[in-house]
Amino acid sequence: MNLTDEQSLPDWELLASWVAVIEAGSVSEAARLLRISQAAVSQRVKQLETIFATPLLDRSTRPAQPTAAGQRLFENSKDLLTRADQMMESVRNVSRAKRMVVRFGCVDSFAATIGPLMIKALSSSSHQIRLWSGITPTLEGLIESRQLDLAVTTSVTALPSISRAQLFTERYYAVLPATFEVNRLGSLLDLSRHLQFIRYSARSFIGQQIDEYLQRAGDALERTCEFDATDPLLSLVASGMGFALTTPLCIWQSRQFLPDIRIVPLSAFTRQGRPYPEMTRTFHLAYRQGELGTLPNEVRDLVRIAVRRHLSSEISAQLHLEKDVLWTPSDAD
């Protein structure tokens, strides 16, 4: 690499403009995304063609398509810009390591139950933790766009440059009004003829998972009430208006309704003579590898210890469920 010849290297701004042109599919759309004029984008493309002494766009087509050289420049530029972004973050993290504000996102049930334990345990560290809560799809988008540094979600979707560490797992249960009486539990579809099914919304990961489970079971339950959060969902169940599928952590989050609900394992229901299969959800810690030092491992270990030593046994006792209602990876070994 010739460090003395500045003319041999294109400007970052030119490379970013070229990536925008290819991803947008046209110069005009790239100009809109970059918030500059179409003429300015065209000028940047011509500058790149001058630097590389080769055409980058085939202007005989409409819209213009990248030449082989243009496609190669796009691929290399995108990779280079990504690594430059990572370099900036990495260097900044070194300089602010002792005063770093860590933006931590987590699903509501985690924030309300394990969140306080985690914040207390990390309060003596050199990091200042700011906690956000929300549904999994929202959190996934925020960490991908670097608006969060860490996120606890229940998704396993692969995201570029994002690592995941498994935290713990829990089962789903049916929740009925405490006053509801039935001689025999048949299928969930049978139950829906007596009580309406109250759902988590389809835009939440927990709602999507339950919908897929019911679809596999062959239970087409009517869509009526849908909620992102557990409080309104369990309030309707407790008032006798319906039943729901949820998890121990969600129930514990809204434990003010415990006197008025009944928790039933899914295996207590049968369809065509067979018990319903188990359904579980697993919590993962999502983070960017190499950007937060040992903090992700510290958070992972803190959560697992809190679940094993305190939370699982406490929830099991209060909800009158089996031992180890929440379990960590080492518990399963």
pLDDT > 60? residue 9? yes
Same fold, 96-169+282-317+328-332 and 173-278: yes
- State the pLDDT at residue 3: 45
Q: What is the CATH number of domain 173-278?
A: 3.40.190.10
Compute the distance between CA of residue 124 and CA of residue 130 in angstroms, rounded to an integer.
Answer: 14
Structure tokens at 221: 């339950």
Q: How far apart are CA 269 and CA 81, in angstroms?
A: 54
The fold for domain 6-94 equals Arc Repressor Mutant, subunit A (1.10.10)
The listed range with the strongest mean pLDDT (2-11, 27-36, 194-203) is 194-203
Give mean pLDDT, residues 181-186.
80
**272 Rama class: left (phi>0) / alpha (psi -120 to 50) / beta:** left
Q: 3-class DSSP state for residue 10?
A: coil
CB neighbour list of residue 161: distance below 8 Å, 6 or more residues apart: 82, 86, 288, 289
CATH of 96-169+282-317+328-332, one of 3.30.460.30, 3.30.70.20, 3.40.190.10, 3.30.360.10: 3.40.190.10
307 vs 314: CA distance, rounded Å: 9
DSSP annotation string for 22-70: HHHSSHHHHHHHHTS-HHHHHHHHHHHHHHHTS--EETTSSS-EE-HHH
Local confidence band at 89 (pLDDT 50, 70, 90 cut-offs): confident
Q: Are strands 101-107 and 128-134 parallel, antiparallel or unpaired?
A: parallel
Tokens 């931590």, residue? 104
Residue 175, pLDDT > 90, answer yes
Residue pair 281/247 in contact by the 8 Å Cβ criterion: yes
pLDDT at 93: 62
What residues does each domain of the chain span? 6-94, 96-169+282-317+328-332, 173-278
**CA 159 – CA 152 distance, rounded (Å):** 14
Of the candidates 129, 83, 88, 90, the residue with the CA atom closest to the CA atom of residue 295: 129
Structure tokens at 36: 């500059």
Using DSSP, state whether 323 is helix, strand or coil. coil
- Model pLDDT, residue 206: 93
- Percent residues over pLDDT 70 in the chain: 92
Q: How far is Cα 21 from Cα 324, in angstroms, rounded to an integer?
A: 54
